[in-house]
């Protein structure tokens, strides 16, 4: 039923209108605490509850500001500010349960593993600070991109219409790039090399080697070597060839089908003869060929397609969500949440928790005082910028924050997030958080530029504003509703910083005092209950399947990012 805007007054004064916007934004931020920190309660659910309760909220707004004689359109904008406050605060806080509890949603799934590693290093609060920097920086970055994006997406360039037809090719390129970044490294289980290289010395015999090596070390035959040895070792093998290249001398050694190319450092005391068994000492490395990399990329492709099939089954096949049984029927929960919450909890949450139980790590005391992010201002700006630029893709249909996060992988060195160094880990978290928040803002802009809602929250705003929604055209004619809601977003961002710091520190202080095994089991039980509550019996089935699929990448040695095929493949099909 369409809601008809009442005409209760002529127009509020500007100070009263701004005060109302701020107060209702703060109410929305309080709701954002719940949606951000409690797994399974999504911001879209609250948005739809607001849409369904618009009459009650109208009465509340009139009770608080009826003395100022607001018009019907002003009342609607005030209620919409509640939605925006909720949406923005949610993006600041949802990183916390993701990193400390392993309960991600689509927007925070890729940040789980790097953040979880920081928790196990006692730096969970530092990870939260990185996330806050990314989220708040994204608000500033998105506002700075407001006019340029309006000129590009809208008139005069109208890039929205021009690029929409090519989005499936862009996403295919994203998938190919992610798969091609897979490469074999020394120590991978995939590496069963027969060829090694070493820079070292030739010794006279095993007795000489024992004098050089540390106590307890032995001389190994080349046939006993594997790719996991990294320290200085001694190996014995037969000389099969010797040659020089640009003045550097090499010996070709062999033992039972395995070969070693030895680059000599210095002259040996005695000249080795062909077929003579010698002992060489140095640091040995496997020689990894293109076939090894190809095998790993095929495995990555398999993970991508498998998760893609799972995504197709859930998001494309008709009637999947309708065949469900709920303990409690929440009318406000959208079907996408019913499917996506267990999907991402299984792929990235419970699968990670189960594997960490196998390793049984101990959560160290988390540092919460004098915690400083080690990134320079330039590195922070670069990470935020990459997140904001990637988020502009969210203007197009089917491109969620999760897809934008994958696109941001192109713009940083963070595509190797499971093996990256400390700086890259922090940049990755900043960038992912920037994507999460800037997508919420770009979705708001899209509503007024192309008159299309790109999220559940914006769909609720669209439903509230209804016939009052006007396009931002021409450039100098900014709609009052858009200006007010951008102000609401800025207020929510300012309020969310201390909220995220407070709850981040609270989680960090208490998680280290709990036995890790007990914590993980408790979180798994909590997630199971949440999935059953919000996603029903079907959610438990999805969770079980997704958990099994989510355990595959770390077990076969490929990156978890390929699991995002569960979204990329259905979106590609949508555009085709």
Domain ranges (residues) in the chain: 14-185+298-575, 195-287
How many other C-beta atoms are found inside a 10 Å radius of the C-beta of residue 164? 14
Question: Which tokens belong to 111?
Answer: 């940040």
- Partners of 488 in the beta sheet? none
pLDDT at 415 over 50: no
pLDDT at residue number 474: 87
Q: Could you report the per-residue pLDDT of 245-275, keeping only the tens digit for each?
A: 777 888 888 988 888 888 888 777 667 878 8
Range in 131-145, 292-306, 443-457 with the lowest mean pLDDT? 443-457
Phi, psi values for residue 198, rounded to 5°: -150, 140
Exposure letters 139-153 (e unless 16+ CB within 10 A, then b): bebbbebbeebbebb
Burial (0-12, 13-18, 19+ Cβ within 10 Å), 53: middle
* pTM given for the model: 0.71
pLDDT at residue number 269: 65
Burial (0-12, 13-18, 19+ Cβ within 10 Å), 421: exposed
Instruction: Report the chain's mean pLDDT, rounded to a whole number.
Output: 80
Burial (0-12, 13-18, 19+ Cβ within 10 Å), 177: middle
pLDDT at residue number 485: 95
pLDDT at residue number 177: 81
Rg of the chain on CA atoms, in Å: 29
- Partners of 261 in the beta sheet? 197, 252
Q: Of 183-187, 212-216, 381-385, 561-565, where does the model show the most confidence? A: 381-385
pLDDT at 227 over 70: no
Under CATH, which number does the domain 195-287 receive?
Answer: 2.40.50.140
């Amino acid at each position: 039923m369409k809601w008809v805007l009442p005409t209760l007054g002529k127009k509020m004064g500007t100070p009263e209108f701004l005060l109302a916007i701020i107060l209702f934004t703060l109410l929305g931020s309080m709701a954002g605490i719940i949606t951000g920190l409690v797994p399974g309660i999504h911001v879209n659910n609250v948005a739809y509850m607001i849409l369904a309760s618009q009459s009650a909220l109208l009465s509340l707004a009139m009770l608080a500001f009826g003395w100022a004689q607001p018009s019907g359109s002003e009342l609607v904008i005030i209620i919409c500010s509640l939605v925006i406050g909720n949406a923005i605060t949610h993006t600041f806080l949802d990183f916390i349960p993701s990193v400390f509890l392993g309960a991600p949603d689509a927007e925070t799934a890729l940040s789980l593993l790097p953040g979880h590693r920081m928790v196990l290093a006692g730096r969970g609060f530092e990870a939260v600070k990185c996330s806050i920097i990314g989220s708040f920086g994204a608000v500033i970055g998105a506002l700075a991109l407001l006019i340029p994006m309006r000129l590009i997406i809208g008139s005069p360039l109208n890039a929205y219409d021009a690029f929409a037809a090519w989005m499936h090719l862009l996403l295919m390129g994203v998938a190919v790039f992610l798969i091609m970044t897979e490469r074999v490294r020394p120590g991978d289980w995939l590496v069963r090399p027969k060829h090694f290289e070493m820079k070292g010395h030739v010794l006279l015999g095993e007795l000489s080697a024992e004098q050089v090596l540390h106590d307890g070390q032995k001389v190994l035959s080349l046939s006993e070597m594997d790719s996991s040895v990294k320290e200085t070792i001694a190996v014995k093998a037969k000389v099969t060839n010797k040659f020089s290249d640009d003045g550097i001398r090499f010996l070709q050694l062999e033992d039972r089908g395995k070969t070693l190319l030895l680059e000599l450092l210095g002259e040996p005391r005695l000249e080795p003869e062909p077929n003579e068994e010698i002992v060489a000492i140095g640091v040995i490395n496997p020689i990894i060929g293109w076939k090894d990399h190809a095998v790993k990329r095929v495995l990555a492709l398999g993970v991508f397609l498998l998760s893609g099939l799972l995504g197709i089954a859930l998001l494309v096949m008709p009637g999947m969500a309708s065949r469900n049984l709920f303990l409690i029927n929440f009318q406000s929960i959208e079907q996408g949440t019913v499917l996506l919450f267990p999907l991402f909890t299984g792929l990235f949450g419970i699968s990670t928790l189960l594997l960490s139980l196998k390793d049984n790590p101990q959560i160290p005391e988390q540092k919460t005082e004098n915690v400083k992010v080690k990134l320079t201002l330039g590195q922070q700006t670069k990470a935020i910028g990459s997140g904001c630029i990637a988020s502009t893709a969210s203007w197009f249909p089917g491109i969620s924050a999760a897809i934008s996060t994958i696109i941001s992988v192109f713009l940083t060195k963070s595509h190797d997030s499971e093996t990256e160094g400390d700086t890259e880990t922090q940049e990755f978290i900043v960038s992912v958080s920037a994507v999460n928040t800037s997508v919420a803002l770009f979705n708001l802009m899209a509503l007024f530029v192309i008159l299309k809602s790109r999220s559940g929250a914006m769909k609720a705003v669209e439903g509230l504003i209804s016939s009052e929604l006007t396009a931002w055209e021409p450039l100098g004619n900014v709609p009052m509703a858009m200006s007010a809601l951008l102000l609401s977003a800025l207020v929510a961002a300012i309020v969310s910083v201390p909220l995220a710091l407070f709850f981040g520190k609270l989680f960090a202080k208490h998680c280290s005092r709990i036995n890790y095994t007990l914590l993980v089991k408790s979180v798994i039980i909590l997630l199971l209950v949440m999935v059953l509550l919000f996603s029903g019996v079907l959610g438990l089935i999805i969770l079980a399947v997704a958990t099994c699929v989510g355990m595959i990448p770390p077990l076969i040695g490929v990156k978890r990012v390929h699991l995002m095929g569960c979204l990329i493949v259905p979106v590609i099909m949508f555009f085709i």
